[in-house]
């Protein structure tokens, strides 16, 4: 896998890609490997920037979603949550046919490799609380607020 790094309002973003598909998008503390930007990563970053500026609500990128079958099912369900809306972990578990799997959905969210594009920030606890987010609770608040404005 190759990686490209971009500076954003949320800090450094690391985009992983292979064979013409985006495999991961995460924040990073440092550039920890060779920086290999491509036309694909430039487009991915452009779309992220448009999202941050509220000029884009959905992404149009070739994605390689890699995880366990359960994780992939969860991540595909997350991609169906409309911009500006939220779902609970329990609602996602119900949607994928695993009604008692709210914790497992939370675990899949935690392991989501495609930050923002697979919108795990739109999933909250059943009481509406902003539970864990890989990018931190403050980032989750910011992303949800961005989508609500």
Give the span between the Cα atoms of 118 and 95, in whole angstroms: 16
Provide the edge-to-edge strand list for the sheet that holds 21-28.
2-8, 11-18, 21-28
Q: Which of 26, 4, 16 is nearest to 134 (CA)?
A: 26
Active site residue 23: no
132: which residues sit within 8 A by CB, 6+ positions away?
A: 106, 109, 110
Instruction: Give me the catalytic one of 23, 33, 98, 120.
Output: 120
CA-to-CA separations, 136 to 2, 43, 57, in angstroms, rounded? 25, 25, 21
Q: Which helix (H) or strand (E) holds 40?
A: helix 39-52
Give the span between the Cα atoms of 87 and 131, in whole angstroms: 12
Question: Any idea which residues carry the catalytic annotation?
Answer: 120
């Amino acid at each position: 896998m190759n990686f490209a790094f971009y500076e954003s309002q949320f800090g450094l973003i690391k985009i992983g890609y292979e064979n013409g598909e985006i495999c991961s998008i995460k924040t990073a503390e440092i550039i920890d490997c060779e920086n290999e930007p491509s036309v694909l990563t430039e487009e991915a970053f452009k779309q992220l920037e448009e999202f941050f500026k509220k000029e884009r609500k959905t992404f149009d990128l070739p994605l390689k979603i890699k995880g366990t079958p359960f994780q992939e099912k969860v991540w595909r369900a997350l991609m169906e949550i409309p911009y500006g809306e939220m779902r609970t972990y329990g609602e996602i578990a119900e949607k994928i046919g695993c009604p008692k799997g709210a914790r497992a959905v939370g675990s899949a969210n935690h392991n989501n490799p495609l930050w923002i594009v697979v919108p795990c920030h739109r999933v909250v606890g059943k009481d509406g609380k902003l539970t864990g987010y890989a990018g931190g609770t403050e980032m989750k608040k910011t992303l949800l607020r961005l989508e609500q404005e």
